[in-house]
Amino acid sequence: MSPVDPGPAIGGVIGVIIIVIIAVILAVIIYRRRSASRPNKYLSESEHLSGTEENTYINHDPSPQPMNEFINNGCDAGPEDVRVSLPQKHASKTSGYEGSEEIPEEYDEEYEGNVYGNVYGNVQTVAEYKISIADLKKVISEKQKDDGFKKEYDILPRGLVHAHVEGSKEENKIKNRFLATWPYDHSRIVLTGDTKSDYINASFIDSYEKEKAYIASQGPKKNTIRDFWHMIWQEKVNKIVMVTKLEEERRKKCEQYWPQSINKAMPVDIYRLVMKKEIQHTVYVYRLFILQNNSLKNKQERKVHHFHFTQWPDHGVPDSIKLVNFYRKVKSINVDKSTPMVVHCSAGVGRTGTFIALDALYEHGQKEGYVDIMEYVQTMRKDRMNMVQTHEQYEVVFEALLELFTVPDTSIQKSVFCEYIHKQEQKTLPKNQTEFREEFQRLQTLRPVYSADNYTTARCKENLSKNSSKSVLANDNYRPYLMSYGRNRSDYINAVIVPGFSAESKLFVTQCPLVKL
C-alpha cells in the first residue's frame, strides 16, 4: 500500500488558521469603531462639569475621551502625555488681549516641577503625620535618611482633582501663564464690578484659623495687571508677598506690575498706583504702595505693603535661614488681618504654597504645640493644584519651621537698643549669663551638618598647607575663588563669604594669613 500524501491535510490546516486570523482582525476593527462612536459618559452632560465631589476629574474638552486619558498615572509624563484641552502654541491671539508674548507657555518641569504627574483616581486620605514641636529636629534628621522626605511627599495626590471649567475656557486661556495650571471653580477669585471678565488665575486658600486667609495667585502678565490690581482692591488686600524674580535664567517669570521709581504714578485702568518706599535688603525688597480708586467720588486710597523675596535660586530652594528672615519681615508689619494676604510666584503653586504653608503651620504650631505638614499641604491642594510642588520645597518647610520654633525673633529696634543693653547690664551676672547662654545653645542646635564632600577643595593635597587647622575648612558652597594665581597655585583660600544686612554688603571671614603663604 502506498503512503498517504500529507499535503492536502497541511493545506487545510493552514487555510483554517488564516481564516481564524482574518476573523479576529475583523472583530477588533468592528469593536474599535463601535467604541469610538460611543458617547463619552464622563463628559456627556453639562451638569457633570459643575460637580464638586472630591473624586471629580474634569477637563472641559468637547471631544469625547475615555476617562483614563484625562488622568496621568506616570510620574515622568510631560505635557504632551496629558489629554487636555489646550491652545496650540501658534494659535491666533484671543480678541481683546494684547501682546503675542502673552500666549500661555508649556509648563517647564525643570523650572517649576511636575504639574501633571501621579494624579490619583480618588483623593487619598493621608494618614496623620502630627509632629510635636519638641520632636521636630529629630524627625527632620530621620527623614533626611534614605530619601524620607521624597517618599513622604510622593504619597500626596497631585494634579487636577476638581472641576476647573472657567480656567480652561477659550476666552480665559490667554490669561493663564501656563497651559495647564488652572484654578478650581469652587475656590477661584471671582472678579466683580465693571470688568471685561470675572476670571483671574488665583485661588482662595484657608489657614487653620480662618477661611480664605490667603490668595494664591500666578504672577501677573501684561494682560492681567489690571485684573490683579482689581483683585487687590476688591478683596481689600494690604500685603502682597512675591517669591519670584521678574526674570530667571532669561525666562520671564512675572511682569512688573508696579511703578519704576518712587513717587511716580502708574495708571492701571480705574486705579492710580504710586510707590512711596523701596528698601533693598540682602534677601528681599520692601515696597510701600498707595493704591487709589479713581472711580469713587472721594478717590479713596489704601496702603499696600509689598514684600519681594529675591533669593530663591533658579533651581532648588533657598536656605531656610533666608526664608525665615524674609518671613519675619512680612509678619513684622501689623495690618488688618481680616483680609487675605496675596502670595504669588510665577505659576502660583510651588513657591507660593511653600510660603503659605510656613505661615499657616507656624501660627498653628504656636497655639497647639504640634504641626502636621502633610495634612496642611493636602488641605491647600483641595483649593489649588500642586501647592508645594517638589519634595525639596516640602523639606524646606520643615527646616524653616524648626528655625522659627527654635530661635524666636531676636531683632532689636535701633531706637531701643541702648535701653536693651542697659537693662541687661543691670541684671545680676548669673542671670545675665544664663539668658545669653540659652540663646547661644538654641543657635547651636541649628548648626548644619556638612559632609566631607562639601570641603573637596580645602582637602585637596595641594591646599592642605593653606589651612591653619584641619578642623576649620572653607565650605565649597561659600568660599571665594581667587581669580589670579600662578601655575603651581590654586584658586583656594581658607575664607568664606558672609552676607550683610543690605543687598550690597558682604563680609569675608578668613583665618590669619600663614607665613608660608
Asked if residue 180 lies in contact with residue 86, where contact means CB atoms within 8 angstroms, the answer is: yes
To the nearest 10 degrees (0 to 180), the angle between helices 350-368 and 320-332 is: 70
Q: Cβ–Cβ contacts within 10 Å for residue 381, how many?
A: 23
Q: How confident is the model at residue 433 (pLDDT cuts 50, 70, 90)?
A: low
Q: In whole angstroms, how large is the CA radius of gyration of the chain? A: 30
Average pLDDT over residues 141-168: 92
- Given CA atoms 483, 484, 487, 493 in this order, what sign does their dihedral have? negative
Predicted confidence (pLDDT) per residue in 231-262, tens digit: 999 999 999 999 999 999 889 999 999 999 99
What is the pLDDT of the chain when averaged over all its residues?
80
Average pLDDT over residues 140-161: 91
Cell numbers representing residue 31 in the block: 469593536
Best CA proximity match to 387, nearest among 248, 189, 181? 181
Per-residue confidence (pLDDT) for residue 5, from 0 to 100: 59
Asked if residue 318 lies in contact with residue 396, where contact means CB atoms within 8 angstroms, the answer is: yes
Q: Cβ–Cβ contacts within 10 Å for residue 425, how many?
A: 9
Asked if residue 499 lies in contact with residue 484, where contact means CB atoms within 8 angstroms, the answer is: no
Q: How confident is the model at residue 59 (pLDDT cuts 50, 70, 90)?
A: very low
Per-residue confidence (pLDDT) for residue 334, from 0 to 100: 94
Per-residue confidence (pLDDT) for residue 412, from 0 to 100: 83
Share of the chain above pLDDT 70, in %: 73
Per-residue confidence (pLDDT) for residue 302, from 0 to 100: 98
Asked if residue 229 lies in contact with residue 188, where contact means CB atoms within 8 angstroms, the answer is: no
Secondary structure of residue 468 in the 3-state scheme: coil
Phi first, then psi, for residue 394 (nearest 5°) are -60, -45
Phi first, then psi, for residue 160 (nearest 5°) are -85, 120
Alpha helices in 38-84 (DSSP H): none
Asked if residue 326 lies in contact with residue 225, where contact means CB atoms within 8 angstroms, the answer is: no
As a whole number of angstroms, the distance between CA 430 and CA 435 comes to 9
Per-residue confidence (pLDDT) for residue 28, from 0 to 100: 62
Per-residue confidence (pLDDT) for residue 88, from 0 to 100: 35
Asked if residue 493 lies in contact with residue 480, where contact means CB atoms within 8 angstroms, the answer is: yes
Per-residue confidence (pLDDT) for residue 193, from 0 to 100: 87
Higher pLDDT, 79 or 387: 387
Asked if residue 218 lies in contact with residue 203, where contact means CB atoms within 8 angstroms, the answer is: no
Q: Which helix (H) or strand (E) holds 15?
A: helix 7-37
Is the pLDDT reported for residue 119 higher than 70? no
Is the pLDDT reported for residue 20 higher than 90? no
Q: How confident is the model at residue 157 (pLDDT cuts 50, 70, 90)?
A: confident
Predicted confidence (pLDDT) per residue in 300-358, tens digit: 999 999 999 999 988 899 999 999 999 999 999 999 999 999 999 999 999 999 999 99
Q: Please state whether the predicted TM-score (pTM) of the whole model is above 0.75.
A: no
Average pLDDT over residues 180-195: 92
Tell the residue number behind the cell numbers 488652572, with chain if given. 182
Is the pLDDT reported for residue 3 higher than 60? no
Cell numbers representing residue 281 in the block: 535688603
Task: Please classify residue 232 by burial: count the beta carbons closer than 10 Å to its beta carbon, then call 0-12 exposed, 13-18 middle and 19+ buried.
Answer: buried
Q: Cβ–Cβ contacts within 10 Å for residue 377, how many?
A: 25
Is the pLDDT reported for residue 81 higher than 50? no
Q: Which helix (H) or strand (E) holds 306?
A: strand 301-309
Residues in the chain: 517
Alpha helices in 38-161 (DSSP H): 109-112, 136-143, 148-153
As a whole number of angstroms, the distance between CA 59 and CA 37 comes to 20
Q: How confident is the model at residue 444 (pLDDT cuts 50, 70, 90)?
A: confident
Average pLDDT over residues 94-100: 35
Is the pLDDT reported for residue 47 higher than 50? no
**Cα separation of the two ends of the chain:** 110
Tell the residue number behind the cell numbers 477661584, with chain if given. 188
Long-range contacts at 375-382 (CB < 8 A, ≥ 24 apart): 375/126, 375/128, 375/129, 375/130, 376/208, 377/156, 377/353, 378/126, 378/156, 378/157, 379/206, 380/205, 380/216, 380/353, 380/356, 381/156, 381/157, 381/158, 381/161, 382/54, 382/123, 382/161, 382/162, 382/187
Q: Which helix (H) or strand (E) holds 400?
A: helix 391-406
- Given CA atoms 332, 380, 248, 228 in this order, what sign does their dihedral have? negative
Q: Cβ–Cβ contacts within 10 Å for residue 471, how many?
A: 5
To the nearest 10 degrees (0 to 180), the angle between helices 429-445 and 417-426 is: 120
Average pLDDT over residues 417-425: 83
